[in-house]
Each structure stands twice: as structure tokens, then as C-alpha cells.
């Protein structure tokens, strides 16, 4: 089954404790992206990747890191989480070397930073 | 940069028709996406308009006017399961803008 898989789905952590949210897709998509979604602010892009070893900042990259060592994986790293990073996070992927075309979303990861 | 405007919330009656509008201003434009998102779930693709005009897909139709920077999503024969948020997303065609989503319209369907 074609899908985007995120882990963990739910996480409660404390300020400053490094964490990684994994994202994997099995559709051989070149484009992958991370979004956060907050009430009243909608979906905002954190980072995106056009292909392996190619990543770029989105609208809200501060406090986050990403890597794209393999085509299928695009982990989101919070080196020192803070309470303002409490949010619902979505990973998404798409065909082609650009994001034209349908975006396929993971189920979301709800993160709470205390 | 991009500016996307859509109503925050709309209410409609089961069986009726509702139109959700979206206006946008982008530095470039390839087309426009509409996504549906149920509460707590991931967005799912509804439509992608490239050319001006109306595209119909079952109960859902989407309209685009490139010259006016305007689109709408038309939902017919509303069902309770259509209660969701509807996200408008202009495709600016590359560069650092990425794909920017509007804040979404929360549609409430009443019996």
C-alpha cells in the first residue's frame, strides 16, 4: 500500500530533550516536506527536500533540522525542543523534482513539549 | 510572498449546496489545490485546477479564474461526513515559497 509513515504519532517530552520524528514513504517520491499545524495559523512549511541531499528552509525553520540521506526517509530533528514547538506535525511527499502534483500526507505526529 | 484568503467558518444544511471561496496573490502561479481535512487527520487531495473554468468530480467541483486570483470549491448534496476543513493552496511554481496553504475553512454541516 502506498503510504507516508510518521513516528511517533504522539509524544510528550520536556524542554531541551532532543527528539527525532521519522518520516518514510514507499512511493519513490523525490519531493518531501514537513509542515506544522497550529490553531488559527493553518499548515506552515518547516523544511522541504527536492531530492536526496537537497534540503531547503520553508516558512518556519527555526529550531528544526532535517536530513535527506535516502530517497525514502526525511527525518525532522528538534535539537532542543521548546514549548512553542508543541504542535501537530505532518510529513508529505510528491512525485517529480518539484511539488507540482498531489501531496500525500502522513497521519501526523502530535508533539507536546513541557 | 503569498497572500491567501478564505472564510474561517461556514455552516450549511445536509442535502444543500455550499460554495467555499478562496482569493490569492502569489509571485508565480502554476495552479491551485484544494484539500479536505477532517479534525485530527491528515489533509487529503480533492482537486488541482490549472486552467480557468469549472472542473467537476462527483459531488465536488472546483473553479479557477487565474486573472482574478480567485477559486471556489462547490459541494453539492451535502452529507454529514463533509464536515471538515477545506484548504486552498496555490501552487506558486517553485522556489523558496514552496506550496503555501490557506488557513482553511471549517465547514459545519447541520441536519
Mean per-residue pLDDT of chain B: 92
Cell of A96: 517529480
| Whole-number pLDDT of residue B58 | 94
Instruction: Identify the closest residue of chain A to B98 by CA–CA distance.
Output: A58
Q: pLDDT averaged over chain A?
A: 92
Residues in chain B: 111
Put simply, the answer to whether A56 touches B96 (Cβ < 8 Å) is yes
pLDDT of residue B99: 76
The whole-number pLDDT of residue A64 equals 98
Confidence band of B33 (pLDDT split at 50, 70, 90): very high
Q: Is the pLDDT of residue B43 over 70?
A: yes
Whether the CB of B90 is below 8 Å from some CB of chain A: the reply is: no
- Inter-chain CB proximity B87 and A99 less than 8 Å: no
Spatial neighbors of B63 by CB under 8 A, at least 6 apart, are B49, B53, B54, B55, B71, B72, B74
- DSSP, res A15: T
* B65-98 per-position pLDDT tens digit: 999 999 999 999 999 999 999 999 998 775 444 6
Running DSSP on this structure, what letter comes out for residue A73? B
Tell me whether residues B91 and A45 touch, CB distance under 8 A: no
C-beta atoms of A45 and B93 within 8 A: no
pLDDT grade for B30, boundaries at 50, 70 and 90: confident
How many Å apart are CA B105 and CA A39, to the nearest integer?
A: 12
Residues from A in contact with B at Cβ < 8 Å: 33, 35, 40-45, 48, 56-59, 90, 98-108
Residues B16-44 have a mean pLDDT of: 93
Can you tell me the mean pLDDT for A22-38?
A: 94
Residue B35 has pLDDT above 50, yes or no: yes
Is it true that the peptide bond before A70 is cis, omega within 30 degrees of 0?
Answer: no
How, if at all, do strands B31-37 and B84-91 pair? Answer: antiparallel
Enumerate the residues of chain A whose CB falls inside 8 A of the CB of residue B62.
none
Beta strand A54-57 with A65-66: parallel, antiparallel or unpaired? unpaired
Residues A63-107: pLDDT tens digits? 999 999 999 999 999 999 999 999 999 999 988 655 556 889 999
Which residue of B44, B93, B101 is in closest CB contact with A43?
A: B101
Which conformational region is residue A107 in: left (phi greater than 0), alpha (psi within -120 to 50 degrees), or beta?
alpha
- In B, which residues are within 8 Å of A101 by CB distance? 48
Contact between A100 and B30 using a beta-carbon 8 Å cutoff = yes
Q: Is the pLDDT of residue B107 over 90?
A: yes
Amino acid at each position: 500500500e502506498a503510504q507516508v509513515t510518521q513516528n511517533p504519532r504522539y509524544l510528550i517530552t520536556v524542554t531541551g530533550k532532543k527528539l527525532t520524528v521519522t518520516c518514510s514513504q514507499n512511493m519513490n517520491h523525490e519531493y518531501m516536506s514537513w509542515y506544522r499545524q497550529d490553531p488559527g495559523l493553518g499548515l506552515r512549511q518547516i523544511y522541504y527536500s527536492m531530492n536526496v541531499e537537497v534540503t531547503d528552509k520553508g516558512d518556519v525553520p527555526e529550531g528544526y533540522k532535517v536530513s535527506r540521506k535516502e530517497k525514502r526517509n526525511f527525518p525532522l530533528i528538534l535539537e532542543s525542543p521548546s514549548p512553542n514547538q508543541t504542535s501537530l506535525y505532518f510529513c508529505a511527499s510528491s512525485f517529480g523534482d518539484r511539488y507540482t502534483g498531489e501531496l500525500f500526507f502522513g497521519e501526523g505526529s502530535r508533539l507536546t513539549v513541557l | 510572498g503569498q497572500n491567501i484568503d478564505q472564510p474561517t467558518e461556514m455552516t450549511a444544511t445536509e442535502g444543500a449546496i455550499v460554495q467555499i471561496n478562496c482569493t490569492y496573490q502569489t509571485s508565480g502561479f502554476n495552479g491551485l489545490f484544494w484539500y479536505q481535512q477532517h479534525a485530527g487527520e491528515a489533509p487529503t487531495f480533492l482537486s488541482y485546477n490549472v486552467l480557468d473554468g469549472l472542473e467537476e468530480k462527483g459531488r465536488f467541483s472546483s473553479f479557477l479564474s487565474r486573472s482574478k486570483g480567485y477559486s471556489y470549491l462547490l459541494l453539492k448534496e451535502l452529507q454529514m461526513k463533509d464536515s471538515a476543513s477545506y484548504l486552498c493552496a496555490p501552487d506558486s511554481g517553485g522556489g523558496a515559497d514552496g506550496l503555501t496553504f490557506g488557513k482553511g475553512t471549517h465547514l459545519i454541516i447541520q441536519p
